[in-house]
Structure 1
């Protein structure tokens, strides 16, 4: 989920913690626990700082080790330990329990996005992504804001947030039902599809659609059970060549291929350079595919420059790369 949603989730969980008699009986423990739930709801996303290094490192590692099983166990120990040193009167056990719940919920809800997490590390590096909730879901965020406003105006936070979580639970069930209906409709539209990828958007009934058959890639949109296929590309594997092998050694293209399950490629020869471009087919926007990886190689097959990330025009791509051939 996005940062804003994780923040309101942490605050709401802190309010729900008042159901714990140990927390409710001590103002200092209450303060420490609310701080713990807010910080714990943010801690796994500390790897966002990797973006300051470069997109390749961020794409490959974001929601990786910081969302793993060891991290889910270590974050609460670290956060509750520091808070207990600041507020030694707080009950350490209950501070740890609620902080642990905040960290666990952060990782758990991220699994429902299409990006997913490596939540099973170290047992598996597989990305767990259920793809039913958009990274920012206005309904989930809005329900939290309503619950927090009720608390602000004096209602008891415990029943308020219990009702809120019950509503969100039903909402998740509805999202799974809609996702299943969309997949079935895609299968009817493209009977030979071997793999179907549906990704949520901020609109409840609208979904991004990508499908793979033995011969083609399909890209479209779904509105409920209505499927619109916008693009159809012949499925052509990357050629086996020294040029492609050299390009795939580049950190940006390597990160892209580790992340993208469905993409097409373009190889262009300029006067003294080759361009290898990989284009993710899951994120079509206004007739454009903005998530790409590009590498330029010279005639000796050495990387001249490269980039991976979100680009919405060729002009912006030129600015990202140190050099762009005419």
Structure 2
């Protein structure tokens, strides 16, 4: 999920905690638990520090990796609870520990439900776990919390309010899962040999997908029971010398470490070659913004590269110019 959702859920869990009479009657305990749930609900994404220290490419590869693993859940829980307890040492540590643990677990659990996924199974497996039926930002989940906050501010019991909010949202998530199974069954019925990934959108009615065969990728959407084939991409062979040259770039390697259905294309000019690796799971209208880009000279030496989200071509050009200057200072 996105950061705003994780923050919102942290506050929602703090409201739900008021179901416990001990918390409802102790403002200091309630305040400590609020800190625990909000920080805990965001802690696994503190791996953003990788981007600040090691750069965007390394962050792309490791985001939602070790920081979302089983050992990390325990470490985040105890570290956050212990830090808060230093300042609130008169409260019930067990209550603080429980609600912080719940917040961290809910963060990781919700991230598994979307298309990006996590490596939550580490250290037992490095496989990316993604169930693909909740979008990265879900307006229903956000709206449910905002309604709960409104009732809380109006003076209603936050515990009872968020109990009902979460019953409704759990029901909504179950409905989304059932719909995703129905969409998968529609694609299973397609007479093609290959694999596919369903991608949720904010609409329950419309779902995107990528269908991969040995020779091509097909991207499309399912509206109701109708399958719409939108884009067809023929695969380049790995022996292609331009593709092979781009694979030597570290940013491409970082990108491919957790990308699925990664298609490559390149554009040549008299002075350079630009290779783009795009993750077909993330489509916005006619554009695939999640990518790795490599700029090569005519001899296929790497001049610059970038990986991340690029929504505008001008932004892409600016990033490549910046990276080129780092390699070849003016």
Q: CA deviation at 1:269?
A: 4.3
CA distances 1:249-305 after superposition (whole Å, capped 9, x unpaired): 212111221122112222444435443322222233332332222212335543211
Q: CA deviation at 1:219?
A: 0.7
Q: Secondary structure at the match of 1:321?
A: helix
Separation in 2 of the partners of 1:237 and 1:181?
A: 34
1:61 aligns with 2:81: no
1:100 aligns with 2:111: no
Aligned positions, number: 322
Q: Which residue of 2 aligns with 1:279?
A: 278
Q: Which residue of 2 aligns with 1:248?
A: 247
Separation in 1 of the partners of 2:47 and 2:224?
A: 35
Structure 2: runs of 5+ lacking an equivalent: 326-330
CA contact (8 A) 2:215 2:235 kept: yes
Q: Which residue of 2 aligns with 1:296?
A: 295
1:20 aligns with 2:20: yes
Separation in 2 of the partners of 1:317 and 1:235?
A: 23
When residues 277 and 152 of structure 1 are mapped into structure 2, their CA distance, relative to the original with a 3 A threshold, is same
Separation in 1 of the partners of 2:171 and 2:283?
A: 30
CA contact (8 A) 2:282 2:290 kept: yes
Q: CA deviation at 1:76?
A: 1.5
Q: CA deviation at 1:22?
A: 3.5
Q: Which residue of 2 aligns with 1:72?
A: 73
Q: CA deviation at 1:193?
A: 4.1
Normalising by structure 1, we get a TM-score of 0.91
Q: Which residue of 2 aligns with 1:199?
A: 199
1:208 aligns with 2:208: yes
Separation in 1 of the partners of 2:162 and 2:193?
A: 42
Separation in 2 of the partners of 1:185 and 1:18?
A: 44
Separation in 2 of the partners of 1:280 and 1:135?
A: 15
Separation in 1 of the partners of 2:296 and 2:103?
A: 46
Q: Secondary structure at the match of 2:108?
A: helix
Separation in 1 of the partners of 2:146 and 2:219?
A: 35
> Over the residues paired in the alignment, what is the CA RMSD in angstroms?
2.1
CA contact (8 A) 2:270 2:298 kept: no
Worse overlay, 309-318 or 145-154: 309-318
Q: Which residue of 1 aligns with 2:48?
A: 48
Separation in 2 of the partners of 1:106 and 1:117?
A: 11
Q: CA deviation at 1:202?
A: 1.6
Worse overlay, 50-59 or 207-216: 50-59
When residues 312 and 88 of structure 1 are mapped into structure 2, their CA distance, relative to the original with a 3 A threshold, is closer
Structure 1: runs of 5+ lacking an equivalent: none
Worse overlay, 278-287 or 157-166: 278-287
Q: Secondary structure at the match of 1:154?
A: coil
CA contact (8 A) 1:50 1:57 kept: yes
CA contact (8 A) 2:290 2:310 kept: yes
1:307 aligns with 2:311: no
Separation in 2 of the partners of 1:95 and 1:191?
A: 54
CA distances 1:214-266 after superposition (whole Å, capped 9, x unpaired): 3331111122222111112234432264x544421212111221122112222
Separation in 2 of the partners of 1:213 and 1:84?
A: 54
Separation in 2 of the partners of 1:37 and 1:29?
A: 12
Separation in 2 of the partners of 1:12 and 1:308?
A: 34
Q: Secondary structure at the match of 1:278?
A: strand
Q: Secondary structure at the match of 2:265?
A: strand
Separation in 2 of the partners of 1:36 and 1:158?
A: 17
Separation in 1 of the partners of 2:106 and 2:279?
A: 29
